[in-house]
Amino acid sequence: MPQKELWERSPLRVFERAVGGGLGPGHVGIVLARAGVGKTAFLIGLALDALLRGRKVLHISTQESVETVRRFYDQLFKAMAEQLQIEDRAQRHLDVERNRHILVYNRKLFSLEKLEQSVGFLNQAAHFSPSLVIMDGTPRFEQTETWEMEGVARLAREWEAEVWTSSLVHREGQQCDGRGIPLAVARFDRWLAVVALLESRGDHVRVRILKDHDRPEVADLRLELDPSTLLLRWQ
């Protein structure tokens, strides 16, 4: 099967079209969800989609080990290979691994400065410059300072990469703005191009777009996460 057709079939295309053709290089997007709903899976889904299209992905974590993150990718790759009926899986898997780098920091040591250094180093030593950067759970939005968020946006522009982050939404008592974005996140509005929310609806998880670049209207998305594979699928 030609590569093009392969990713035309992906539900990720629907998501992409809904947010005006994707996040776009130099922009920062965020996915919000309650604990355990599937933020990481959603982000890795985005990453795998990019990897299968030959793009380079940097995955940053301050919580999981390299091994754990990798295992998560492997599981989702397997599910995605089934979903999209990918042929020549071993070779494809190899390509995925070749184009991905997992960067793990001791939480206490993590800083934007350090991150900038590491990415510079990767570029120099391994000629690795990512076009998609996943910052899972980093930074922590409730404690984040404005200058830090500004820093993330600046890095996205410098790297000319899409940067996806995530944040927890608490069960109760969280104040939201008119669009449904928690205030803790909304205060960084000017640096966030896309805001997506994963909502648990009984046995499945629905994906909602709360913000789409500068468009006043957001698309009503008919996508959900498959509860068994945690992959995006049509409703």
Could you tell me which of 109, 154, 108 has the C-alpha nearest to residue 133?
154
Buried b (16+ CB within 10 A) or exposed e, 146-179: eebbebbbbbbeebebbbbbbbbbeeeeeeeeee
Residue 55's alpha-carbon distances to 15, 24, 85, 102, in angstroms, are 18, 13, 20, 15
Angle between helices 39-52 and 89-98 (to 10 degrees): 100
114 binding other proteins? (CB under 8 A): yes
- Interface with other proteins (CB under 8 A), residue from 87, 142, 158, 177: 87
Q: Terminus-to-terminus CA distance in the chain, angstroms?
A: 25
- Least Å distance, CB 59 to other proteins, is 8
16 binding other proteins? (CB under 8 A): no
What DSSP element (H or E) covers 201? Answer: strand 194-201
- Least Å distance, CB 99 to other proteins, is 9
97 binding other proteins? (CB under 8 A): yes
112 binding other proteins? (CB under 8 A): no
- Least Å distance, CB 180 to other proteins, is 35
5 binding other proteins? (CB under 8 A): no
142 binding other proteins? (CB under 8 A): no
- Least Å distance, CB 227 to other proteins, is 23
Buried b (16+ CB within 10 A) or exposed e, 79-110: bbbebbebeeeeebbeebeebbbbbbbeeeeb
90 binding other proteins? (CB under 8 A): yes
- Interface with other proteins (CB under 8 A), residue from 6, 104, 112, 219: 104
105 binding other proteins? (CB under 8 A): yes
- Interface with other proteins (CB under 8 A), residue from 79, 103, 161, 193: 103
Residues that bind other proteins (CB under 8 A): 59, 65-67, 69-70, 87-91, 93-94, 97-98, 100-107, 109, 114, 118, 121-122, 124-126, 128
